[in-house]
């Protein structure tokens, strides 16, 4: 049963390494949150200091509604006449969502299925918690593999 849940070291090195990786340790939370009632103009001012290119859109209760990608704003962000447009015009659904405490093996399957590198993490009530990136998991995997082999 432990092996099926991914909580047992086995001879399969990939699975053994994944046992040591925990979603909560790899989740990134430094993304600027966008409220659903904001406009493009509001966002332009906010993202001028952002170091990310994806932004979670949340409702007043912190639930994830969608995401806005910088690339989707780029054309209009230099046109002040469009600053009144609601951010919902630019919002898209995420390709998938990751549940908090989800096993890393399951997360990697979602990355592969959806051909993406970044997915939002939510709780069971869909409250936004952060993002997980495929590259961060792969880096942690490599580090853990080295530790196991030593």
* Sequence-ordered list of residues with C-beta below 8 angstroms from that of 62, at least 6 positions apart, any chain: 127, 128
Averaged pLDDT for residues 48-56:
91
Residue 150 lies in a domain: no
Residue 130 sits in which domain range?
2-145
Give the Cβ contact number of residue 100 at 10 Å.
14
* Sequence-ordered list of residues with C-beta below 8 angstroms from that of 108, at least 6 positions apart, any chain: 18, 134, 137
Name the 3-class secondary structure at 49.
coil
Write down the pLDDT at residue 143: 87
Write down the pLDDT at residue 67: 97
**77-134 per-position pLDDT tens digit:** 999 999 999 999 999 999 999 999 998 889 999 999 999 999 999 999 999 999 999 9
Whether the per-residue pLDDT at 15 is higher than 90: the answer is no
What's the structural domain count of the chain? 1
**The pTM of the whole model exceeds 0.75:** yes
Q: Answer for the pair 79, 112: CB distance below 8 angstroms, yes or no.
A: no
Whether the per-residue pLDDT at 4 is higher than 60: the answer is no
Residue 19 lies in a domain: yes
- Band of residue 50 on the pLDDT scale cut at 50, 70, 90: confident
Q: Answer for the pair 94, 119: CB distance below 8 angstroms, yes or no.
A: yes
Write down the pLDDT at residue 115: 95
Residue 83 lies in a domain: yes
- Pairwise CA distance, residues 72 & 57, whole Å: 14
Whether the per-residue pLDDT at 1 is higher than 60: the answer is no
CATH number of the structural domain spanning residue 81 = 3.10.580.10
Write down the pLDDT at residue 2: 55
More confident residue, 6 or 26: 26
**55-79 per-position pLDDT tens digit:** 999 999 999 999 999 999 999 999 9
Write down the pLDDT at residue 146: 78
Residue 129 lies in a domain: yes
């Amino acid at each position: 049963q432990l092996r099926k849940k991914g909580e047992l070291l086995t001879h399969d090195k990939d699975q053994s390494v994944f046992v040591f990786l925990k979603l909560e340790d790899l989740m990134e939370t430094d993304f600027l949150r966008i409220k659903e009632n904001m406009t493009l103009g509001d966002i332009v001012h906010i993202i001028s200091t952002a170091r990310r290119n994806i932004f979670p859109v949340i409702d007043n209760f912190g639930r994830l509604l969608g995401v806005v990608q910088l690339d989707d704003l780029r054309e209009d962000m230099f046109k002040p006449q469009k600053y009144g447009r609601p951010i919902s015009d630019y919002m898209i659904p995420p390709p998938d969502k990751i549940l908090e405490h989800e096993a890393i093996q399951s997360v990697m399957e979602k990355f592969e299925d959806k051909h993406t590198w970044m997915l939002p993490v939510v709780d069971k009530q869909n409250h936004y918690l952060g993002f997980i990136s495929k590259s961060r998991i792969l880096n942690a995997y490599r580090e853990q593999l080295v530790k196991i082999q030593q």
